[in-house]
Amino acid sequence: MNDLLKSIVTYLRFPIHPAGYVFIALFAIGALLLALLNTFLGLIGLVLTVWCIFFFRDPKRVTPLNPGFIVSPGDGMITKIVKVTPPFELGIGDEPRWRVSVFLSVFNVHVNRIPIAGNISKLHYHEGLFLNATLDKASEDNERQMVAIKTDGGQLVGVVQIAGLIARRILCDLTENQRVETGERFGIIRFGSRVDVFLPVGVNPLVMEGQVAIGGETIFADLNSKEEPRTGVSH
């Protein structure tokens, strides 16, 4: 079974986020122990180990480098686009702005990426619940890490990592005043989650609900665009 696991990892050929090594090792050990008890249980453990490897994958992305583009910070389904007042703790003002929410299932890439270049103006961690991340109230009730970015043009963009129903750990590698670039990795949420992006005031989203987003690649908005918000639901 150990040789089979090595062959699977070699075949998949994608980088693994460092946060996943311990979990992959634990899953693999568990699979070996199950195999000693029963072949069928060992196969189940092997499948779970492969899933764990798949969960912590960290594929390369081709990020559009137009300085006005705001890209998706995560992979998943865009579940909600709504104009709301951002949380006070985020420190980007109280004027309503568009919020784009991306739900990351347990099968999506969970490495998070910077949506636009700038400087980290504020970080705020909030302890909370672990409700289903697709629920709207998850933005207010769930455990979350808030990140505010001040662009080179002085506009403010908010990113919020939100724990989900089975997510129990948010990792954020940023520090305040740090310089960041579009598409740069900045953290990961373990096992199902959601990421919210608060666009600058006056900037409209260029995506629709139901659309599948790719972290670091899908363009959420363009600071230089005058296009009206898109309507409808992507199928």
Kindly calculate the radius of gyration of the chain based on its CA atoms and give it in whole angstroms: 19
CA distances from 2 to 54, 55, 96, 170 (A): 17, 19, 54, 30
198: nearest Cα among 121, 106, 108, 129: 121
141 backbone dihedrals φ, ψ, rounded to 5°: -100, -25
State the helix-helix crossing angle for 2-12 and 21-37, rounded to 10 degrees. 140
Residue 72 CA neighbour count, 13 Å, CB half: 27
Asked whether the beta carbons of 78 and 100 are under 8 A apart, the reply is yes
Q: What is the DSSP letter of 126?
A: E
Catalytic annotation present for 193? yes
Q: Where are the alpha helices (DSSP H) in the chain?
A: 2-12, 21-37, 39-55, 138-141
Residue of 121, 193, 225, 234 marked catalytic: 193
Please give the Cα distance from 133 to 144 (Å, whole number).
11
| Catalytic site positions | 193
